[in-house]
Amino acid sequence: MSHAAQDQLEITYDRRFAKTSDYRQRVWSILTRDFFQRFIPAGGAVLDLGCGWGEFINQIQAQRKFGMDLNPSSSQHLHADVTLFHQDCSTRWPLETAALDTVFTSNFFEHLPDKEALRRTMAEALRCLKPGGRLICLGPNIRYVTGGYWDFWDHYLPLTERSLQEGMELVGFRIEWSVDRFLPYTMAKGFTPPTWMLAAYLRMPFLWRWAGKQFLVVAVKP
């Protein structure tokens, strides 16, 4: 990605999320504590793919923490215990084979230019994960978001949980858990309910069928 494109990415991210940054931090403190921490070994190594401003990776508990993003401003927001890889995710990652316990990504795959870039990215995740390690993917489900998906300038790759599962299996992952409806769609459009509601929502999966428009897919390296 050119310097101009990276600058555009920084401007877009700031325009979209700066006003809700504090709220996003509070939301992710609940998501990490009440839901995603169960997937992360306390003594393990985790990489946040498309880490943005570090809402997930700064708050998750792990022995070794990595972030990957092309946004030039990511380095300003990550905590000192997070190592940032500022690179294209579809090229080789600067990690040894079987170095990671978990790769996590949220609302990132839809920003990739095409499925070949996604395939190469997932293949790198497979290489870098230990046997039994997990790739955890959260993102907008085009089946339920429909036209609203295209409200964002930098959305390119529409996915459902089924298409993502198939792509994961083709590169060698085994699907452990797949939820077609998990979280509501976006926090970028002023939807900021009290965080106690999110904590309650996570404990009541029957509500996911009503409000969820993002998939959650967890895959394992055999």
| pLDDT grade for 180, boundaries at 50, 70 and 90 | very high
User: Is the pLDDT reported for residue 3 higher than 90?
Assistant: no
* pLDDT tens profile 9-42: 555 555 555 566 788 899 999 999 999 999 999 8
Once rounded to an integer, what is the mean pLDDT over residues 123-137? 98
pTM for the model stands at: 0.92
Predicted pLDDT of residue 191: 64
Q: CATH for 3-220, among 3.40.50.80, 3.90.950.20, 3.40.50.150, 3.90.1280.10? A: 3.40.50.150
| pLDDT grade for 164, boundaries at 50, 70 and 90 | very high
| pLDDT grade for 5, boundaries at 50, 70 and 90 | low
User: Is the pLDDT reported for residue 136 higher than 70?
Assistant: yes
User: Is the pLDDT reported for residue 171 higher than 60?
Assistant: yes
DSSP per position, 3-47: HHHHHHHHHHHHHHHGGGHHHHHHHHHHHHHHTGGGGS-TTSEEE
Q: Where are the domains of the chain?
A: 3-220
User: Is the pLDDT reported for residue 155 higher than 60?
Assistant: yes
Predicted pLDDT of residue 175: 98
Predicted pLDDT of residue 168: 98
User: Is the pLDDT reported for residue 54 higher than 80?
Assistant: yes
Predicted pLDDT of residue 107: 96
Mean predicted lDDT score pLDDT of the chain = 92
Once rounded to an integer, what is the mean pLDDT over residues 100-119? 97
Predicted pLDDT of residue 14: 56
User: Is the pLDDT reported for residue 43 higher than 90?
Assistant: yes
